[in-house]
Amino acid sequence: MTDRIVLSKMIFEGRHGVTDGERAQAQPFEVDVEIHLDTRPAGLADDLSKTVDYGGAFEICRSVVEGPSRRLIEAIAEEIAQKLLALSEPLGATEVVVRVRKPRAPLPGRVDHAAVEIRRRPAKVSR
């Protein structure tokens, strides 16, 4: 399947990181998500109930990043992925992809961002 819903470069403020200093002050985190599912039923019927509401997906990302502090961006990505799967699995989603970028990663040199990308599938979908 090639259909997917994409939300790109969402920016939220969060207090995440390994050090106390990273968690002391909010900093920007960028999130991209892809939800793989057949969008044909929604497109043919012009019916939001037959697809993933990207407003709901946006709110999931916002609530995780702006929520409780995490030490790792991997933990942020995993929580977003699990919540997106729960939202989209009843509609037949086969995979979600989540990217989390940390532009202000505390590294000893110049870098645009540190990032993680994960892919998750519902437990019942075979590879």
pLDDT at 108: 85
pLDDT band for 112, please (50, 70, 90 cuts). Answer: confident
d(CA 26, CA 124): 38
pLDDT in tens, 21-31: 899 999 999 99
**Of the options 3.40.605.10, 3.40.50.300, 2.40.70.10, 3.30.1130.10, the CATH number for the domain spanning 4-120:** 3.30.1130.10
> Is 83 noted as a catalytic residue in this protein?
no
Question: Which residue out of 9, 50, 83, 102 is catalytically annotated?
Answer: 102
pLDDT at 74: 98
Say which residue the tokens 């994409």 belong to. Answer: 6
pLDDT in tens, 51-90: 999 999 999 999 999 999 999 999 999 999 999 999 998 8
Is there a contact between 35 and 57 (Cβ–Cβ < 8 Å)? Answer: yes
d(CA 6, CA 97): 9
Q: What is the pTM of this model?
A: 0.93
